[in-house]
């Protein structure tokens, strides 16, 4: 590790730059007007200086203008400069004050011009504290001339280039001595943390010297405007680092504790957020499962209801079909019975007609035999009677009458019949319907057509 104090070097360089800036910012009077005035020398006093053609004014010097010639000259003083004008043979000055212009006789007069602006002294005091450690204290003091009549008698303003240089140097030395005396009784930590005791000590000493502590005859005619401590720096880099280590360690501990607290808070927040997310996920999964279960139950109920409805519909259709088939069978049986009864009735009628015909034939034969002995007329009458009776029988038992009876009963028979599964057409009228045999043949054809359908 390097033993150089980088911070100290920076502070010193900064102070040097500040001094240069303050010096460069001081007011500079403009160059004299063209025309070489006669080279003159002030007749006395620290404020006088040589003036020549093209000569530039020096820093911190007061630029005055001297007009006239010979014994009839006038000195024009700026309004912010103090002046004292003396004359040979006079115990007291002719003019003393701020910005006073006067007539000037180079043969017997002398004058001194001093800046009246506030002065700033920059102080770098290299001190030794109570722990025998080097400390650099930077301060500045600002002062002004309050009583120039006293100040010009007790202070030296004779520097032609900088009338305030010697006064500033004297005050600076006194200030450094006061700072060193005070710092020698303080510890390093006190110097770095509390600068008010140094300011109070320095202010008291400088005012005692400059202002005389209430006794005007003891002062220098100056007034201390302000005293401030700018900086206090430990000269040793190692000591400066050691002084900073406890605070840095404490701050590091606080920062680490803050980081740990923040990490704990973040971890707890993350854990809480994770639990919330997991709880929300579980709740969402449970809700989804319940929803799926409800949907499954609804689908199952719907399928079961549909299956039951289909089963009931099938059973109902089976029952309806069975009932229809039963009704069809019953209607077919009834129709068969009716047809059988009709056939029996037709057979009975046929038998009766045949019997009647036989009887009539027998009677006719008997009558014919009985009437053979009568005349041809009776035989003719008998034949006519037999023909009439035969016509009556034929008219009463004709197929047309039977068909008319069957046609009258067909709507009732058709209303009782079930809806047929197939359509079969039977043509009636192909045989001789005018006879009983033809009518029976047609009915037999109808019954034969209905039997396969009933069996199916």
Judge whether 85 and 111 are in contact, CB under 8 Å: yes
Identify the bridge partners of residue 72 per DSSP, sorted by sequence position: 69
- Look at residue 25 in the predicted model and tell me its pLDDT: 43
Nearest-angstrom CA–CA distance, 105 and 108: 6
pLDDT tens for 378-424 read 666 777 777 777 766 656 655 566 666 667 777 777 677 666 566 55
Nearest-angstrom CA–CA distance, 118 and 100: 19
Judge whether 154 and 204 are in contact, CB under 8 Å: no
Judge whether 375 and 408 are in contact, CB under 8 Å: no
**Where in the chain are the domains?**
6-21+119-146+158-235, 31-115, 323-455
Q: Which residues contact 414 (CB under 8 A, 6 or more apart)?
A: none
> How far, rounded to the nearest angstrom, does the alpha carbon of residue 61 sit from its chain's CA centroid?
68
Low-confidence ranges of the chain (pLDDT < 70): 1-8, 10-11, 14-15, 17-60, 213-217, 236, 240, 242-244, 370-380, 391-406, 414, 417-440, 442-443, 446-456
- Look at residue 3 in the predicted model and tell me its pLDDT: 64
**CATH node for 6-21+119-146+158-235:** 3.30.479.30
Q: What is the DSSP letter of 374?
A: S
Minimal CA–CA distance to 339: which of 292, 405, 274?
405
What are the structure tokens assigned to 67, written together? Answer: 């007009």
What are the structure tokens assigned to 63, written together? Answer: 């630029």
- Look at residue 443 in the predicted model and tell me its pLDDT: 66
pLDDT tens for 265-280 read 999 999 999 999 999 9
- Look at residue 58 in the predicted model and tell me its pLDDT: 44
- Look at residue 166 in the predicted model and tell me its pLDDT: 84
- Reduce the DSSP state of residue 443 to 3 states and report it: helix
- Give the DSSP letter string of 276-337: HHHHHHHHHHHHHHHHHHHHHHHHHHHHHHHHHHHHHHHHHHHHHHHHHHHHHHHHHHHHHH
What are the structure tokens assigned to 108, written together? Answer: 């017997």
Regarding pTM above 0.75, the answer is: no
Q: How many CB atoms lie within 10 A of CB 346?
A: 18
């Amino acid at each position: 590790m390097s033993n150089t104090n980088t911070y100290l070097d920076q502070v010193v360089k900064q102070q040097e730059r500040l001094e240069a800036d303050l010096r460069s910012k001081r007011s500079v009077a403009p160059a004299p007007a063209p025309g070489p005035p006669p080279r003159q020398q002030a007749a006395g006093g620290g404020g006088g200086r040589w003036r020549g053609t093209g000569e530039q004014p020096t820093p911190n010097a007061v630029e005055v203008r001297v007009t006239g010639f010979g014994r009839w000259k006038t000195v024009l003083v700026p309004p912010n400069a103090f002046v004292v004008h003396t004359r040979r043979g006079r115990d007291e000055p002719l003019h003393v004050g701020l910005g006073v212009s006067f007539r000037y006789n180079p043969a017997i007069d002398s004058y001194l011009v001093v800046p009246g602006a506030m002065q700033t002294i920059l102080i770098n005091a290299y001190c030794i504290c109570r722990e025998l450690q080097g400390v650099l204290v930077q301060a500045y003091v600002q002062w002004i001339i309050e009583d120039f009549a006293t100040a010009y008698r007790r202070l030296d303003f004779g520097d032609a280039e900088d009338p305030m240089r010697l006064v500033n140097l004297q005050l600076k030395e006194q200030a450094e001595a006061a700072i060193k005396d005070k710092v020698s009784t303080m510890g390093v930590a006190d110097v770095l943390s509390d600068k008010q005791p140094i300011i109070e000590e320095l202010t008291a000493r400088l005012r005692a010297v400059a202002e005389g502590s209430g006794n005007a005859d003891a002062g220098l005619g100056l007034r201390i405007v302000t005293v401030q401590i700018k900086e206090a720096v430990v000269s040793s880099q190692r000591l400066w680092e050691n002084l900073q280590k406890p605070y840095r360690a404490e701050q590091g501990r606080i920062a680490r504790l803050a980081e740990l607290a923040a990490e704990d808070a973040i971890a707890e927040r993350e854990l809480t957020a994770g639990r919330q997310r997991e709880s929300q996920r579980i709740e969402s999964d449970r809700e989804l499962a319940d929803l799926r279960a409800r949907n499954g139950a609804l689908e199952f109920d719907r399928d079961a209801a549909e299956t039951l409805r289909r089963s009931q519909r099938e059973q109902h259709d089976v029952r309806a079909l069975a009932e229809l088939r039963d009704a069809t069978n019953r209607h077919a049986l009834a129709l068969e019975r009716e047809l059988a009864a009709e056939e029996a009735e037709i057979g009975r009628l046929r038998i009766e007609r045949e019997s009647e015909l036989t009887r009539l034939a027998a009677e006719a034969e008997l009558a014919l035999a009985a009437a053979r002995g009568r005349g041809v007329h009776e035989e003719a009458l008998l034949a006519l009677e037999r023909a009439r009776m035969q016509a009556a029988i034929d008219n009463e038992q004709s197929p047309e009458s039977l068909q008319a009876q069957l046609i009258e009963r067909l709507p009732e028979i058709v209303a009782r019949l079930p809806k047929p599964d197939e359509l079969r057409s039977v043509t009636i009228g192909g045989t001789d319907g005018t006879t009983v045999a033809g009518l029976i043949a047609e009915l037999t054809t109808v019954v034969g057509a209905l039997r396969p359908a009933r069996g199916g």
